[in-house]
Amino acid sequence: MPSEGLDGPNRTRVKPANDTLLRALRREPTEYTPIWLMRQAGRYLQEYNETRRRAGDFLTLAKTPELATEVTLQPVERFALDAAILFSDILTIPDAMGLGLGFTDGEGPKFERPVRTESDVKALAAPDPELELGYVLDAVRSTRTALQGRVPLIGFSGSPWTLACYMVEGGGSEDFRTVKTMLYSRPDLMHRVLAVNARAVTDYLNAQIRAGAQAVMLFDTWGGVLTDCAFREFSLAYISQVVRHLDRENEGEPVPSIVFTKGGGAWLEAIADCGCDAVGLDWTQDIGRARARIGHRCALQGNLDPAVLLAPEPVIRSESRRVLQAFGPLRNGDGTCGGHVFNLGHGISRFTPVEAVDTLVQAVHEHSRSLRQ
């Protein structure tokens, strides 16, 4: 097992022993299809629940680098996953902006000071990630050391629009009435919020990259609630801005980026054109048709319905095989590699049996290897 180490002041790290995910994101040949799962460190794991109980609450867990490292590694220790994803929350940025983030069991996140008025908007400023989000960067560094070069570490952020939804609504929403009212009534204010968020997200992801994240992902969870025109103006434009300004290399290696818009099937071509290395698909899309639309531009990530993991083992195996077969052969018609990272179409359910995850990982590895023979 290679170990991570320091090499003078440059802190040179070894490449992952298993770099299958990174090669797939770069659309290079792989022996099998790599797999990781959105929300793979979560409440379906007994060990996660035990660590969370020790922490006392979710925010303490997320803001304590040693505990965040511990739960990041838990699914990697239990399953043969091809990547770790940093344990954190997409709302760390608005929390660092001073909006007063809190979590209540059964109610989700809430902000004490939502962004509603013109003065609220004018007061917004992008936080310095080294100062106000240093606990996240410490968790990145700690996790890289603890991984000992086994698999890559993925960093992430919410998209500017998705962050704005929580900031303006003050939490989750069923109809996004408040944020959409601002969008249509005061688009100038909405653009100001998004501009600040885009700067904050860019700085945050680049800080994660410098701390050791080997790939990064933008979660545009609420992009799909917008009209076509509004998505392009208020979500995709700012995603593109972030991607354009990401550090593309660190430690002498490329750092790929993934963009995932839940409900974004209508905009796959436009998302692929933003400059990202991979487009994430939710479970409503046929991955084969998605590949035909954009597969020569970037890799694809996805896209099993998370509910499949609540079904019996034969169903998990057959449905995972269906996704792999729908993606098709690794090579495109022109001889280039297609690039596929297997994932769920959204986060794993807290009710998922751990045995189902083990079955899925094994099935994806086994069947994708057979397709390459």
Residue 240 confidence (pLDDT): 98
Question: Distance (Å, rounded) from C-alpha 348 to C-alpha 357?
Answer: 9
Rounded mean pLDDT of 234-250?
97
pLDDT band at 368 (very low <50, low <70, confident <90, very high): very high
- CATH class of the domain comprising 8-372: alpha beta
Q: Concatenate the DSSP letters of all residues of 257-315 into one string.
A: EEEEETT-GGGHHHHHTTT-SEEE--TTS-HHHHHHHHTTTSEEE--B-GGGGGS-HHH
How high is the pLDDT of residue 4? 40
Interatomic CA distance for residues 236 and 267, integer angstroms: 9
In the prediction, which pLDDT does 331 show? 82
**52 in catalytic set:** yes
CA dihedral (327, 38, 27, 285) positive or negative: positive
Rounded alpha-carbon distances, angstroms, from residue 322 to 258, 306, 316, 326: 23, 14, 10, 6
User: The whole model's pTM is what?
Assistant: 0.94
Instruction: Tell me the average pLDDT across 206-233.
Output: 98
- pLDDT (0 to 100) of residue 251: 87
pLDDT tens readout for residues 248-276: 999 899 999 999 999 999 999 999 999 99
The percent of residues in the chain predicted with pLDDT above 70, rounded, is 96
Half-sphere exposure of 365 (CA within 13 A, CB side): 14
Q: Is 43 a catalytic residue?
A: yes
Torsions phi, psi for 254 (to 5 deg)? -65, 150
Span 180-219, pLDDT tens digits? 999 999 999 999 999 999 999 999 999 999 999 999 999 9
Confidence of residue 14 (pLDDT cuts 50, 70, 90): low
Report the pLDDT value the prediction gives residue 11, as an integer from 0 to 100. 45
Rounded (10°) CA dihedral 270, 276, 280, 281: 20
| 330 vs 252: CA distance, rounded Å | 27
Three-state DSSP state, 341:
strand
One-letter amino acid of 84: A
The pLDDT of residue 13 is 55
pLDDT average, residue stretch 225-239: 98
pLDDT score of 108: 82
Q: Which residues contact 5 (CB under 8 A, 6 or more apart)?
A: 12, 13, 14
pLDDT digits (tens, 9 = 90+) for 27-38: 999 999 999 999
Backbone angles phi, psi at 205, to 5 degrees: -65, -40
pLDDT higher than 90, residue 6: no
Which strand (E) or helix (H) includes residue 110?
strand 108-111
- Cα separation, 33 vs 23, whole angstroms: 10
Query: Is 23 designated active site?
Result: no
- Is 372 assigned a catalytic role? no
The Cβ-side half-sphere exposure at 342, using a 13 Å CA radius, reads 31
Instruction: Give residue 220's pLDDT.
Output: 98
**Which residue in 23, 26, 27, 39 is the catalytic one?**
39
Strand 153-158 to 84-85 pairing: parallel
- Please tell me the distance from the alpha carbon of residue 212 to that of residue 372, in angstroms, as a whole number: 32
pLDDT > 70? residue 116: yes
Exposure string over 18-44, b if 16+ CB within 10 A, otherwise e: bbbbbbbbbbeebebbbbbbbbbbbeb
- With a pLDDT cut of 90, the percent of the chain lying above it is 88
pLDDT at 5 over 70: no
Question: CA 129 to CA 126: how far, in whole Å?
Answer: 9
Catalytic residue among 82, 89, 203, 277: 89
Catalytic residue among 13, 52, 150, 291: 52
Q: What is the predicted pLDDT for the residue at 66? A: 98
Taking 60 as the threshold, does the pLDDT of residue 113 lie above it? yes
Tell me which amino acid residue 325 is.
Q
Confidence (pLDDT) at 145: 97
7-11, 266-270, 349-353: range with lowest mean pLDDT: 7-11
User: CB–CB of 155/242 below 8 Å?
Assistant: no
- Reference 337, options 370, 291, 293, 302; nearest CA is 291
343 Cβ contact list (under 8 Å, min separation 6) = 35, 36, 37, 38, 280, 301, 302, 303, 304
| CA atoms of 113 and 111, how far apart (whole Å) | 5
| Mean pLDDT computed over 85-112 | 91
pLDDT (tens digit, 9 = 90+) per residue, 149-164? 999 999 999 999 999 9
**Residue in 166, 204, 277, 317 annotated catalytic:** 166
Q: Indicate the residue type of 170.
A: G
Q: What is the C-alpha to C-alpha distance for residues 274 and 232, in angstroms, rounded to an integer?
A: 11
Residue 334: is its pLDDT beyond 80?
A: no
Q: Does residue 54 surpass a pLDDT of 90?
A: yes
39 classed as catalytic: yes
pLDDT(338) > 90: no
**Locate tokens 């022109």: which residue?**
334
Distances 369 to 84, 180, 232, 364 between C-alpha atoms, Å: 21, 46, 38, 8
For 302-329, write each residue's pLDDT tens digit: 999 999 999 999 999 999 999 999 999 8
